[in-house]
Structure 1
Amino acid sequence: MRSDLVALQAFIEVARDNSFTKAAARLGLAQSSLSRTIRDLEESLGVRLFTRTTRSVSLTDAGERLLRTAAPRLAEIAAEMSALTELQSKPAGLVRITCSEMAARLIWAKLSTVMHDYPDITVELFTDHSFTDIAAERFDAGVRLGESLEKDMIAVRIGPDARLIPVGAPSYFTQYPVPVVPQDLTAHRCINLRLETRGEIYAWEFEKDGRPLRIRVEGPWMFNSVEPTVQAALAGYGIAFVPEHEVQEHLQSGKLIAVLDDWCQPFTGFHLYYPSRRQNSAAFEIVVNALRHRG
């Protein structure tokens, strides 16, 4: 039984990067030993788990199926064993969270002072704009906007409602008229955002009196994250569509001007999510409680 668990863990490590070399380094094994373990596992199951060539390693259909089922269960076992250990000691251990850059800033603001009280807890924030499979990638939790959450997850609200608003520098609006309705944006120089999750350019979304509206814009710059989008707007290159809280200081100082305010409706803010069947460690519970939104 123990050898089966060891083999499954070895399989998951290889599948993470489709690499025997990297997996062997993480596990502290010789690559030949790791290869033999995987061959033994394949023989015991009677199926090939990996397709190997001289240049690459990739999962077979059977390997994909085993990864989907085995990785979450082994993660549960590891979490349960960690939780049992912590019953006899003070909260300690690693809490891994995948999130966007914006969410990372929110998490840092909430945890940066609290964690001084828990020197044995380590928090890892992995910034990623894709919809990561937290179980397969061995994260404890992820952060998404509430409207994007999957149904089989426990969700804990960690931030207030948010809004996306169009903003531009005063220097830009000395050259171009202030838009009155969203359709006016098609005649403006706008700063686009490409969504990493789908690879497409984001269509700006507005709503007024229950009437939704999506506008596709054009302009001199395109980014895949918010911060350079804000910088381009500050430099007067055009209008950017960004989270209001990300530009609050610039709005107050007059470096940016918001437009179309009555077309910008709030939406559900950030939530921490994790599997409902997860056995949580004491360290994880402390992090969740510190992040919980109480506004």
Structure 2
Amino acid sequence: MQSGEYTELKAFYAVAEEGSFSAAARQLRISASALSQIIRRLEDRMDVRLFNRTTRSVALTEAGQQFYQRIRPALATLESAFHELKAQSGTLSGTVRIHATHMAADTILTPFIGQFHQDFPDIVLDVVAEDAVIDITAAGFDCGLALGEFVQQDMVAYPLGPELKMTAAASPAYLEKYGAPQTPADLQHHQCLNWRYMAEKRIYRWEFFQDDHWISVAVNGPLITTRRELALSAALQHTGIVFWTENMLQPWLDSGKLIPLLQDFCPPFLGWHLYYPKHRHTSGALRAFIDALRQFYPRP
């Protein structure tokens, strides 16, 4: 393969991944017009249209999609080889694409990211935070951060902390006015602060363990939000019952501003995990990220 052909393939791969000429041009550090010329040269040489272009969007043609699926593993192997070679010379660079839930990004990455940048200043972490369960391989991510129950069976998984526990809680003023629920069914008679999965547009059903099995309860109340922090604030203002992980509510539980409820129905469950595909070749940048995260969060 000549160097010009490799440049064309990298350009094609970047546009296919980003779905945008401007975003791909920024990634490749060239102008959008130069990138457009490279893609046009590739299409002319192969005598096939690879992208359908409009003024607002770029999409792969059927031939482009087939070509993308064929070259993607090969390019990943080449990039991995380049990164490994750089690692041997003492320099690591590249981009690690990470899919994480909002809570995982806040809880796991926020304390870690500064130290990682100091140790690996030439590695870019491209983080997409959304509360959705996806196939990270099909979506083009290198790794993911999610609760253990959502990690696919064919992934390498590493726990990044202890088990978690959900907790329902309300302020003393709310409980004085409405009383405390004794079973999950009692929540039907209470003001509950709901949380919505933004990616899936559905309201989360509160989960409890009762009579040796898990149950989910649809609750009602004066608030539906995609931000659990807003639900917490509402609970502290005596508006209703909040349902969140115990560690996130702990400061207010310790201070007595919130009182835990239904604890007998809230056993622990698998906590945050790093997971990634079982690739034969892992890029130096991804390997550095995995090793650094595992060192920062020793196995509990």
Change (3 A) 1:88 1:195: same
Q: 1:149-200 CA deviation, whole Å, 9 max, x = no partner?
A: 1233211111111122211122211221211111111121111111134221
State how far apart, in whole Å, the 1-side matches of 2:266 and 2:221 are.
Answer: 21
State how far apart, in whole Å, the 2-side matches of 1:207 and 1:39 are.
Answer: 59
Q: 1:254-285 CA deviation, whole Å, 9 max, x = no partner?
A: 11111111111221111101121142526235
Instruction: Give the aligned partner of residue 165 of structure 1.
Output: 167
Pairing 1:277-288 to 2, within 5 Å after superposition:
277=279, 278-281=281-284, 283-288=288-293
Instruction: Give the aligned partner of residue 294 of structure 2.
Output: 289
Gaps of 5+ in 2: none
TM-score by length of 2: 0.84
Equivalent of 1:275 in 267, 274, 277: 277
Instruction: Give the aligned partner of residue 196 of structure 1.
Output: 198
Q: How many residues align?
A: 295
Contact persistence 1:156–1:292 (CA under 8 A): no
Change (3 A) 1:193 1:91: same
State how far apart, in whole Å, the 1-side matches of 2:126 and 2:101 are.
Answer: 9
State how far apart, in whole Å, the 2-side matches of 1:116 and 1:40 are.
Answer: 37
Amino acid at match of 1:226: R
**1:37 aligns to what SS in structure 2?**
helix
TM-score by length of 1: 0.85
Change (3 A) 1:59 1:174: farther
**2:193 aligns to what SS in structure 1?**
strand
Amino acid at match of 1:168: A
Gaps of 5+ in 1: none
Change (3 A) 1:214 1:34: same
Shift of 1:24: 2.9
Contact persistence 1:111–1:290 (CA under 8 A): no
Change (3 A) 1:150 1:114: same
Instruction: Give the aligned partner of residue 52 of structure 1.
Output: 53
State how far apart, in whole Å, the 2-side matches of 1:275 and 1:220 are.
Answer: 42
State how far apart, in whole Å, the 1-side matches of 2:10 and 2:93 are.
Answer: 23
Instruction: Give the aligned partner of residue 220 of structure 2.
Output: 218
Contact persistence 2:79–2:283 (CA under 8 A): no
Contact persistence 2:49–2:61 (CA under 8 A): yes
Change (3 A) 1:280 1:57: closer
The alignment status of 1:6 with 2:35, answered yes or no, reads no
Instruction: Give the aligned partner of residue 19 of structure 2.
Output: 18
What percentage of residue pairs aligned between the two structures are identical? 37
Shift of 1:108: 4.4
Instruction: Give the aligned partner of residue 251 of structure 2.
Output: 249
State how far apart, in whole Å, the 1-side matches of 2:298 and 2:141 are.
Answer: 21
State how far apart, in whole Å, the 2-side matches of 1:125 and 1:234 are.
Answer: 35
